[in-house]
Amino acid sequence: MTQRTHLIGQYKATLDGEGRLQLPLGLRDEMNVRRPDFRLMANLEPDGSICLRERAHWEAHVDSLQQAAGTSTRHRRAILFFAAHSAFVRCDKQGRVRIPDSLLVSAGMDRQAKGRKDLVLVGNFGDLRVWSPERWETFGMEALEDFEGGVGSLLDAPVS
């Protein structure tokens, strides 16, 4: 039985000169990055973030996308776009993850830009989202409106 990962919280991070981000210690421990079979996938999400998932979770996600797409040309194009904006990534012994430049640029982040290369890491229970601070701020304001507008009531729903 696979242990369930619970990635939660919001963390500030920066990209180093080689385009790597340092995962916070608590997240590294929860993800158990020292496992010999630990592998990560990165992909661009429709909300403008980069999603980091363990490889097994990513493969299950891809399977569900492919099943849901069926024969719809529109859905198949979306899956091709998803595949084109996905990459295998590694976590080194220091807990750094190198995200390809193409994904960073697509998500509004650029390691070539002058000045600090700030990021926001957000735990999303089974995966980790990487945001540019600007996109996270915009997303956060919209999500807060949804939360305050009643969608937050789903948290009050009885658990079956």
Domain assignment of residue 160, yes or no: no
Domain assignment of residue 4, yes or no: no
User: By the 8 A CB rule, do 129 and 122 touch?
Assistant: yes
Render pLDDT for 60-99 as a digit per residue (tens, 0 to 9): 989 998 888 888 899 889 999 999 999 999 999 899 999 9
Domain assignment of residue 3, yes or no: no
Expressed as residue numbers, the domain containing 21 is 10-149
Total domain count, the chain: 1
Question: The tokens of 149 are what?
Answer: 């507008």
User: What is the rounded average pLDDT of the residues 143-156?
Assistant: 75
Quote the CA–CA distance of 18 and 78 in Å, as a whole number: 30
Tell me, what's the pLDDT at 148? 82
Q: Confidence class of residue 153 from pLDDT cuts 50, 70 and 90?
A: low
Domain assignment of residue 1, yes or no: no
Instruction: Quote the pTM value.
Output: 0.86
The CATH number linked to 135 is 3.40.1550.20
What are the backbone angles phi and psi of residue 119, rounded to the nearest 5°? Answer: -135, 165
Q: Confidence class of residue 150 from pLDDT cuts 50, 70 and 90?
A: confident
Domain assignment of residue 158, yes or no: no
